[in-house]
Amino acid sequence: MNSPLLTVSGLAKRYRRGGKTIAAVDDVSFAIEPGETLALAGPSGSGKSTIARLVLRLIEPDAGRIQFEGDDFLALSGSALRARRARLQMVFQDPLAAFNPRATVARLLDDPLRIHGIASRAERPRRIAALLERVGLNADLAPRAIHEISGGQRQRIAIARAIATNPSLIVLDEAVSALDVSVRGDILNLLLDLQAKERIAYLFISHDLGVVRAIAHRVVILDAGRIAESGDARAVIGAPQSAIGKALVMATPKLHRTTAS
């Protein structure tokens, strides 16, 4: 009964660049339980986004296995893959790059409801209003184009779109990194609130250990594609064991102040 939601084992992805092969992801294994937040942290180029893309099957691995909701996720295709994809959603750093900036809020939220056959045409406007409410936005935002609304509102729309298909797991790649500190706090609170209400698990990618400590139960610290250390987020950030973990904590000055009290 109590099997992990997502299990990644021995994941590897290499890229060729200028005659050299680089291991972007090298023998990475981890699991995420239902309703849990696992953070991936690490310096730029350590493989965080590559792992996100592999888990979402936007790219294929060179080696490794991905089990999601009990299935061999890499073996799924056709309608089985489409059905499973509804349960595994994503939120990226920049919604304007991920979506057509001229698309309206209503259109962005209508897409998943239509594509995954979640609601009839007649029902969808009501579902869109309900989604907006779940992410703390007013329904009168529906006709606006996303390039006209604020960065915080835009990221709420990205989250609304992600939860439209009733996912069990959302992959968030630097989803709050571009936001002002106060807006960032609001979005983190929204994510915590959704998780508490709906038991959604997050694979939360961030280079900011302050953010990781605020939202994650566990953390995996990556260094050049490999896992340097992992464990309870507060324990690892409070007393990192690896050289890269220590360096990341040192590079986050506000952590020293808050952990000292």
Interacting residues toward ligand ATP by CB under 6 A = 15, 17, 22, 24, 42, 44-50, 207
Residue (22 or 188) nearer to ligand ATP, CB = 22
Minimum gap (Å) between residue 69 Cβ and Mg ion: 25
Listed in sequence order, the residues at least 6 apart from 84 whose beta carbon sits closer than 8 Å to its beta carbon are 68, 69, 71, 73, 76
DSSP codes joined into one string, 182-207 = HHHHHHHHHHHHHHHHH--EEEEE-S
User: Contact between 50 and Mg ion (CB under 5 A)?
Assistant: no
Using CB distances below 5 to 8 A depending on partner kind, what does residue 211 bind out of Mg ion, ligand ATP, none? Answer: none
Helices 151-163 and 181-198: crossing angle in degrees, nearest 10, is: 20
Q: Where are the alpha helices (DSSP H) in the chain?
A: 48-55, 78-85, 95-98, 105-115, 124-134, 151-163, 181-198, 209-215, 233-238, 243-250, 253-260
Using CB distances below 5 to 8 A depending on partner kind, what does residue 220 bind out of Mg ion, ligand ATP, none? Answer: none
Minimum gap (Å) between residue 15 Cβ and ligand ATP: 4
Residue (69 or 94) nearer to ligand ATP, CB = 94
Contact 105, 187 (CB under 8 A): no
Listed in sequence order, the residues at least 6 apart from 122 whose beta carbon sits closer than 8 Å to its beta carbon are none
- From residue 29 to residue 48, what is the string marking binding to Mg ion with x (rule CB under 5 A)? -------------------x
Listed in sequence order, the residues at least 6 apart from 218 whose beta carbon sits closer than 8 Å to its beta carbon are 36, 37, 38, 39, 230, 231, 232, 233
Residue (207 or 218) nearer to ligand ATP, CB = 207
Minimum gap (Å) between residue 199 Cβ and ligand ATP: 27
Tokens describing residue 212:
């990781």
Residue (45 or 231) nearer to ligand ATP, CB = 45
- The residue from 5, 25, 26, 49 that contacts Mg ion (CB under 5 A) is 49
Residue (42 or 152) nearer to ligand ATP, CB = 42
Minimum gap (Å) between residue 12 Cβ and Mg ion: 18
Residue (141 or 179) nearer to ligand ATP, CB = 179
Binding residues (CB under 5 A) for Mg ion: these are 48-49
